[in-house]
């Protein structure tokens, strides 16, 4: 069975209706796998990004209607103009709900896994955020540990004994056997949506969490967090209700729309990131298509990031970087930083005994910012360095 058999092509007439499109609208500049051409449609070796809708909402009964998000998103996405370098983008269509929720997860994980193996970045349009678990499962055949970053107002640990749903998917990821999650980072959580028990558990696991206030105080400091992720889960309810009303969990506080677009672009810029999902948009709750339109722009910015990647994630020749060594009075080891000459982005070395051949070897060079370098120059260990060192012990 071909993995594309899980995916129903786009019902193009349903999307475009009588709308008019210009030649350089995305409708006319990306390849679309439709219900009519899906039998003859083939992915090309040059394809870079694949849009994949998932019409599944059973993981969050409180947001009934989210399964309609993919096609509503397309109505706005297709009308955006092609960006600079936007080539080799395909829209594969939608995965329909399986007989059970597990069937849908299987279809998503198989499709995403095969796309990644073929060097194509899947952009998942949910559906509800429990699909993050299916995205996670796609990596189990790649035989590497992975980092997950969730842009979300809550942690979603929930009741670990309950069947998987949108409020407890993270516990299912953490408890999955075999365990191939190296790190989890949350961007934008709001304290009143998180229990102290969850905070304690996150701390014990040495995961990284960043409150909304920190995230918004300097949006640029979120770039290294996202740069270290293999995949990202973006919950639309992390955006404030006035900007994105189409979600049952939308609240007065959260990110602004332009901040959400910037975070999405950071994800696209990351050489390490191989998949991303956007979840919980519910068109039945929208106002003049505001949220679907914002989602379309967020994904446009994600793609803009992909086509502006610098290929400077340093699993390669370190001679391409400027090396800075900071002598620490309060620590036995110096801290070594690297600055990319291609992008001016920073990384820091975290020493680990017997690193050669370690399954964690790919995590030893940690994305960071100039601020981390300044902290080290003041004879303090950067938090990012400390957290990574604790994980590697």
Per-residue pLDDT at 39 exceeds 70? yes
Choosing from 250, 277, 306, the residue where a domain stops is: 306
Q: Distance between CA 179 and CA 229 in Å, rounded?
A: 17
Q: Name the packing angle between helices 69-77 and 290-306 (round to 10°).
A: 70
pLDDT at res. 353: 59
Per-residue pLDDT at 306 exceeds 60? yes
pLDDT at res. 330: 76
- Domain assignment of residue 312, yes or no: no
Per-residue pLDDT at 380 exceeds 90? yes
- Same domain for 171 and 89: yes
Q: Are 243 and 281 in contact (CB under 8 A)?
A: no
Structural domain containing residue 67: 3-306
Per-residue pLDDT at 1 exceeds 80? no
- Domain assignment of residue 90, yes or no: yes
Q: Distance between CA 53 and CA 299 in Å, rounded?
A: 13
Task: Tell me the Cα Rg of the chain.
Answer: 21
- Same domain for 367 and 247: no
Q: Which residues contact 364 (CB under 8 A, 6 or more apart)?
A: 349, 350, 351, 352, 355, 392
- Same domain for 260 and 239: yes
Q: Name the packing angle between helices 370-377 and 383-392 (round to 10°).
A: 90
CATH number at residue 113: 3.40.800.10
Choosing from 275, 306, 337, the residue where a domain stops is: 306
pLDDT at res. 329: 84
Choosing from 259, 286, 306, the residue where a domain stops is: 306
- Domain assignment of residue 313, yes or no: no
pLDDT in tens, 243-292: 999 999 999 999 999 999 999 999 999 999 999 999 999 999 999 999 99
- Same domain for 98 and 21: yes
Q: Are 328 and 335 in contact (CB under 8 A)?
A: yes
- Same domain for 256 and 206: yes
pLDDT in tens, 40-56: 999 999 999 999 999 99
- Same domain for 14 and 161: yes
Neighbouring CB atoms inside 10 A of 267's CB total 28
- Same domain for 386 and 297: no
- Domain assignment of residue 311, yes or no: no
The per-residue pLDDT of the chain, averaged, comes to 93
Per-residue pLDDT at 362 exceeds 70? no
- Same domain for 361 and 240: no
pLDDT in tens, 366-378: 999 999 999 999 9
Q: Are 231 and 276 in contact (CB under 8 A)?
A: yes
- Domain assignment of residue 127, yes or no: yes
- Same domain for 335 and 294: no
Number of domain units in the chain: 2
pLDDT at res. 307: 98
- Same domain for 192 and 101: yes
Per-residue pLDDT at 302 exceeds 80? yes
Q: Distance between CA 156 and CA 166 in Å, rounded?
A: 7
Q: Are 63 and 103 in contact (CB under 8 A)?
A: no
- Same domain for 289 and 172: yes
pLDDT in tens, 173-208: 999 999 999 999 999 999 999 999 999 999 999 999
pLDDT in tens, 317-354: 667 899 999 998 877 778 999 999 889 999 999 887 55
Q: Distance between CA 293 and CA 250 in Å, rounded?
A: 16
3-state per-residue secondary structure call for 244-297: CCCCCCCCCCCECHHHHHHHHHHHHHCCCCCEEEEECCCHHHCCCCHHHHHHHH
- Same domain for 337 and 258: no
Per-residue pLDDT at 13 exceeds 80? yes
């Amino acid at each position: 069975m071909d993995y594309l058999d899980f995916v129903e092509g786009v019902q193009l007439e349903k999307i475009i209706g009588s709308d008019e499109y210009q030649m350089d609208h995305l409708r006319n500049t990306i390849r679309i796998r439709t219900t009519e051409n899906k039998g003859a449609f083939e992915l090309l070796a040059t394809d870079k990004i694949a849009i994949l809708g998932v019409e599944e909402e059973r993981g969050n009964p409180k947001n009934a209607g989210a399964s309609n998000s993919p096609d509503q998103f397309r109505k706005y996405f297709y009308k955006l103009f092609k960006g600079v370098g936007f080539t080799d983008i395909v829209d594969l269509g939608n995965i329909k709900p399986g007989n059970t929720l597990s069937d849908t997860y299987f279809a998503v994980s198989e499709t995403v896994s095969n796309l990644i193996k073929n060097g194509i970045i899947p952009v998942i349009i949910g559906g509800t955020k429990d699909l993050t678990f299916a995205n996670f499962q796609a990596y189990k055949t790649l035989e590497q540990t992975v980092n997950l970053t969730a842009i979300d107002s809550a942690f979603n640990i929930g009741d670990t004994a309950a069947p998987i749903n949108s409020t407890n998917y993270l516990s299912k990821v953490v408890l999955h056997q075999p365990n191939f999650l190296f790190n989890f980072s949350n961007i934008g959580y709001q304290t009143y949506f998180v229990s102290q028990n969850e905070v304690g558990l996150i701390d014990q696991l040495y995961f990284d969490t960043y409150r909304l206030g920190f995230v918004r105080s300097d949006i640029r400091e979120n770039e290294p967090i996202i740069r270290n992720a293999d995949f990202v889960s973006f919950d639309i309810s992390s955006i404030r209700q006035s900007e994105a009303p189409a979600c049952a969990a939308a609240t007065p506080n959260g990110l602004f729309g332009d901040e959400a677009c910037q975070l999405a672009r950071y994800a696209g810029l990351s050489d390490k990131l191989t998949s991303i999902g956007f979840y919980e948009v519910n068109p039945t709750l929208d106002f003049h298509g505001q949220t679907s339109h914002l989602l379309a722009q967020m994904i446009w910015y994600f793609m803009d990031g992909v086509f502006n990647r610098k290929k400077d994630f340093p699993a390669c020749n370190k001679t391409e970087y400027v090396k800075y060594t900071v002598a620490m009075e309060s620590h036995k080891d110096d801290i070594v930083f690297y600055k990319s000459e291609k992008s001016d982005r920073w990384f820091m070395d975290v020493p680990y005994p017997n690193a050669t051949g370690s399954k964690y070897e790919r995590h030893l060079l940690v994305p960071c910012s100039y601020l981390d370098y300044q902290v080290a120059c003041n004879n303090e260990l950067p938090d990012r360095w400390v957290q990574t060192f604790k994980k590697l012990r």
